A and B are shown apart, each in its own frame.
Chain A
């Protein structure tokens, strides 16, 4: 089934998964040494490490599909923002701990559903990577949902802070659940799940945790952003400038 798909389409789809993990892992890496307590420092570093690990497996696979000799580092460090295919939510700045937790929870809940479905993908290699990532994502969600509930149902201040973060980031969630042509092509080939099947599961899990956190689901409109098609927010360019500066300053150097 998958062999009938154009390599370019499979390449782009795997990059979406890879870049989302990479960009989110890079953001969490900014926290290390600065978290509210030592335990959270360790947990955020742990999640960052898992996400970078997922990105490496996926980028290496994307490079193989593309067949132009680009390895994980060529793809991570030598593409510019418009070639990145992560969902826009992943690149949003850390803000405070509350905003980081909201971003993490919304994405963890989504990656959980996505990886669960991808573990049964017609693409065996992708299925294998997803099965590994799924185990990690269960832990990530446990951490982020646990903190969202504590912050939402903690003090008046924490409730206010986390509500504000939720309101600010909610607009990026539509992109997670709205399929474009590539998503549909992958679903038709049995490589990826139809995003329509993910929506009710994601909505259900989010509603359950928000309720326990005594948080209201934001009313804000959820316009689809287009990070996965390479149209990003202003934040990604800055992140990449920092992340890519060494390989770009010393072209061809080995580290």
Chain B
């Protein structure tokens, strides 16, 4: 999903624990068993902390990088209503990134460090955002399929054992389901439109279907960390279970739109009461994760450029704050204008 790279081994996991650790660990496991929330100041195993830092920061990075493929269409949205909805949506993604960075910070890693890991290529983000948005229909497909897949994964995280992550996810899920409906509505307008618009919708489904299925991560047989994450109740369902739920919900939606899922092997299975899909091309997934997707370079380049070109701005804000007594200090001229909304500020 937004955190697929978790399925690779954790480099700094420390096996074995000193004497006395055992009791703490037992107590922790018991709390997990009782479905209690773990809070930032509670004791937790180092591997639990590291797993969460990686998962939440990857999730945050995915939100931030995810602003780019959709942001690509803000200036070209075909109506003012669509333009406004798209700006609001991309803004929501940025907001999700903020809550998630804050949730990850409670585990002891500063946002600036997480950002550095993203920019130097150490941290991963969801493979899906390395695909291009080539037509307006892609904006619809991203909302319908990508946000649809994201919700499938994120609803169970609302019950994640780590409190700050679970709480951030409750708010995020509400907004994501709104985005998913908006995406579907774009697809519906195209499906009911002229032949060129219908072709545009089909082409978008053709290109986004398989990458959307890959968002759930490797199949259970090859996912190394699923078992541990499930035991810790960070994860509640396996990758394959979530992928199946997504397929079962999405296939009838495609039928409603009059679009064809690009999988000749797709069929309804009476015995299991599920749709069965053809094999996923995992070599494509691996290639995209390794940096060889269609837009990996462009996405990272855009993030790096924004960071580099913004450096003088952040330095100016810091210099101003140092001269005028802290980041909270606002300019005099601004203070005469009363408005409840908060003024923008710069972190780092």
Contact = CB atoms under 8 A, between A and B. Distances in A.
B87 A39 contact: no
Interface stretch (A143-151, A164-172, A177-185, A229-237): A143-151
Contact of A250 (B197, B316, B324): B197
B267 to A, nearest CB: 34
B91 A145 contact: no
Contact of A146 (B94, B194, B330): B330
Residue among B71, B78, B317 facing the most chain A CB atoms (10 A cut-off)? B78
Contacts of B348: 37
B221 interface: no
Interface in A90-121: 96-98
B313 interface: yes
Judged by DSSP, the binding face of A is helix
Contacts, number: 190
Contacts of B136: 246, 255
A53 interface: yes
Interface in A134-152: 135, 138-139, 141-143, 145-147, 149-151
Interface string A243-255: 1011100101111
Contact of A73 (B79, B305, B319): B79
A252 B78 CA distance: 11
B310 A154 contact: no
A145 B333 contact: yes
Interface stretch (B33-41, B207-215, B336-344): B336-344
Contact of B310 (A32, A36, A55): A36
Nearest to A52: B84
Residue among B64, B97, B320 facing the most chain A CB atoms (10 A cut-off)? B320
Contacts of A76: 80
A33 B88 contact: no
Size bracket of the B interface: 35 or more
Interface stretch (A40-48, A123-131, A189-197, A217-225): A40-48
Residue among A34, A97, A138 facing the most chain B CB atoms (10 A cut-off)? A34
Contacts of A255: 78-79, 82, 136, 186, 189-190, 193
Residue among B77, B95, B306 facing the most chain A CB atoms (10 A cut-off)? B306
Contacts of B330: 146
Given A42-B95, A146-B334, A255-B79, A96 B319 contact: no
A137 to B, nearest CB: 9
Nearest to B189: A255
Contacts of B84: 49, 52-53, 56
Residue among B136, B311, B339 facing the most chain A CB atoms (10 A cut-off)? B339
B306 A73 contact: no
Contacts of B98: 38-39, 42
B312 A46 contact: no
A139 to B, nearest CB: 5
A3 interface: no
B91 A45 contact: yes
Size bracket of the A interface: 35 or more
A158 B87 contact: no
Contacts of B323: 153
Interface in B45-91: 64, 67-68, 71, 74-84, 87-88, 90-91
B309 interface: yes
Nearest to B311: A36
A138 B339 contact: yes
B130 to A, nearest CB: 15
B24 interface: no
Contact of A52 (B83, B189, B345): B83
A26 B73 CA distance: 11
A55 B78 contact: no
Closest 5 CB pairs of A and B: A36-B310, A154-B316, A158-B316, A149-B331, A33-B71
Given A33-B306, A141-B337, A243-B75, 17 more contacts: A39-B344, A42-B95, A48-B87, A52-B87, A143-B344, A145-B333, A146-B343, A149-B334, A153-B323, A155-B319, A161-B312, A242-B76, A245-B76, A246-B77, A247-B79, A255-B79, A255-B136
12 contacts: A29-B87, A32-B71, A37-B313, A39-B346, A45-B90, A52-B83, A77-B79, A138-B339, A153-B323, A158-B319, A209-B331, A250-B194
Interface of A: 22, 26, 29-30, 32-43, 45-46, 48-49, 52-53, 55-56, 59, 72-73, 76-77, 96-98, 135, 138-139, 141-143, 145-147, 149-151, 153-155, 157-158, 161, 205, 208-209, 212-213, 242-243, 245-247, 250, 252-255
